[in-house]
A and B are shown apart, each in its own frame.
Chain A
Amino acid sequence: MKRLLVIALVVVLALLPVLSAGNVTFATTVYAKMLAVLGIFLLLQAGQVSFGHGMYFAAGAYTAAYMGQAMGGADILLLLLAVIAISGLSGLIVGLFVSRYRYIFFAMLNLAFSMAVFALLEKLFHLTGGTDGLRVPRPTLLGESFSRAQFDIVIYYFSFIMVVLGSLGIWLYLRSPLGQALKAVKVNETRLEYIGLSANRTILIAYVFSAVLAGIGGLAFGLQQGLAVPELTFWTRSGEFVFIAVLGGVGNVIGVFAGTVVFQAVRFVAAALLDDAWQLILGIVLIGIILVVPAGLIGLPARLMELGRAIRKRRFLAGREQE
């Protein structure tokens, strides 16, 4: 049943450009962010959060900008390979350091790295274009070049396929021994070590994966927006990814999708109505979720049922007392 629903969802989304052409841009943004959130989601399985994945997101977009400008519009698949290599490698380097830490240190060290990247992108403006960022030239696909309207469809399918592959990859990853070990880090790290598996290594592998996912997300985002800006690695961006992952719930990949759609939709509406208070609302909702529905959107039905049961029970008991 669950599987059928997922397949139906994938089919509907694959047909989206035909079904509702107006929502293609919106959906592409959702996919781009969702890729980064998938990375955060993976680390959350080990109980770790990173406040710095914006730096890999930015790495994806800036790679597209540099390569595109150097080659006069590179091929998307070539860009994809380059982004995987660059975000994977930088994830490995940073990961070698941060994977030795957990919880607060893990989160804050990632934040520190991304703030450093942000500052450099802003400061070295003769290389990075400073705050204005760099233009990302429209790429080709297998030698084919596109008009703006055609390219919207191309980038839609590109990010859609990436999301499907990424989700499948994570699904398989979490079922593999590596994934089980990752979950064990959260439950009891010492026992994991006693089995003979290195907890740091387990985290490192997941970290590199998550960096690559965020990098691909950044690539899709940069290509769609046509711009790579330092803001992509600002702390609010990384915070957003963590926020969406917690909003959706750490239970399964569908939660990530639901979380991103809801987040983007609310943001879209709220930005039009009260742009100034956007962060404020985000913060309040985040606190609300953690205090009331720790399992996220995916746990909302169960939580509502639980609350309903509690209320009915109280009514029942109150009724008996009156008798």
Chain B
Amino acid sequence: MDSTLALIALLDGVSYASLLFLVAVGLTLIFGVLGVLNVAHGSFYAIGAYMAVTLGRWLVANDWNPWLTFPALLIAAIATGVVLGGLMERFLLRRIYTKDPVLQLLITFAVFMILENMQRMVWGVQPYFMSTPLQLLGNISVLGINYTAYQVVFLPIMALLTLLGLRLFLRHTLAGARITAVTQDREAATAMGIDARAVYFTTFMIGACLAAMGGALAAPTTSVVPGMGAQMIVLSFAVAAAAGLGNIEGALVTALLIGIARSFAIYLFPEVEILVPYLIMVLVLLWRPMGLFGMPEARKI
């Protein structure tokens, strides 16, 4: 493998990791606050992508300014996250916070099945493309290699903005302080007059929006097909678990690790490329069962 190929693999990896991070950070945020692992997260990702493609293609077909496809990506993501996430928290999750973790997992799995089916009913099984944003930003030369600016500049910037935004929001705003307080100790926070239910509701919607955002931003770079949700939930779980569930900054590190390792594997060992993320997760968990940045939990008797 020469240095040009290595650089291409690196750029591939960074762009892929940016998307992976967006989805995984939503998953990890929801888990950190609600204690629920949302399997339907993969569906939010897929539906976000479908919505973005549909909206973008409609804009292009009706002769709107093609630059409008950028806000369209964001609007599609936020609409998907707010509507689906909001409905799911309000009508389902709210009833099960006190139940067995296995039952919580099963409920989100059931929602996943329902959403996958609905998505197939609405969009069918044919692949969709919408590369307008990719073409608009054109190519950029990185150390002599031409690469699409959308993937090597725009996506990483969006991922970094998300990370910084989340940090600022959680540490320097009142709403963020409420979320942190409920995460630390729900009872004490409630006693202080914080409405934990509202905090759960908002957090779940934010997490869902992040997943949909990952899907919407991924849409211009690939074809949108059925099954992408199932793959993404496992991958983003691998990222979140390797970082330590609930750990936001760690998710960026493991997303980069898994994203870059995977893209190198595509060039070096294409047949087993698919195994790399799982392999990394298994190795990390064998070494540190709570994840790279996770804290061991105290035993409860």
Contact = CB atoms under 8 A, between A and B. Distances in A.
Looking at chain B's contact residues, the main secondary structure is helix
Interface string A238-260: 01001000100000000000000
B238 interface: yes
B6 interface: no
A111 interface: yes
B161 interface: no
Interface string A65-98: 0000000000000000000000000000000010
Contacts of B112: 283
B121 A103 contact: no
Interface string B74-118: 000000000000000000100110011111011101111110111
A123 B102 contact: no
Nearest to B37: A104
Contact of B234 (A48, A108, A282): A108
Interface in A240-294: 242, 246, 276-280, 282-284, 286-287, 290-291, 294
Contacts of B120: 276
Contacts of A203: none
B267 to A, nearest CB: 16
A279 B281 contact: no
Given A103-B102, A290-B106, A290-B107, A119 B113 contact: no
A44 B101 CA distance: 12
A108 B282 contact: no
A151 interface: no
Interface of A is mostly: helix
B111 A287 contact: yes
B176 to A, nearest CB: 25
A107 B241 CA distance: 13
A188 to B, nearest CB: 8
B113 A97 contact: no
B275 A120 contact: yes
Nearest to A116: B278
B282 A286 contact: no
A119 B121 CA distance: 25
Contacts of A287: 92, 107, 110-111
A278 B95 CA distance: 25
Given A108-B37, A112-B278, A277 B117 contact: yes
A50 to B, nearest CB: 11
A124 interface: yes
B286 interface: yes
Contacts of A47: 100, 102
Contacts of A101: 285, 289
Top-6 shortest CB links A-B = A283-B114, A283-B113, A119-B274, A279-B117, A280-B117, A286-B110
Interface of B: 31, 37, 92, 95-96, 99-103, 105-107, 109-114, 116-118, 120-121, 230-231, 234, 237-238, 241, 245, 271-272, 274-275, 278, 281-282, 285-286, 289, 299-301
Interface of A: 44, 47-49, 51, 97, 100-101, 103-105, 107-109, 111-113, 115-116, 119-120, 123-124, 190-191, 235-236, 239, 242, 246, 276-280, 282-284, 286-287, 290-291, 294
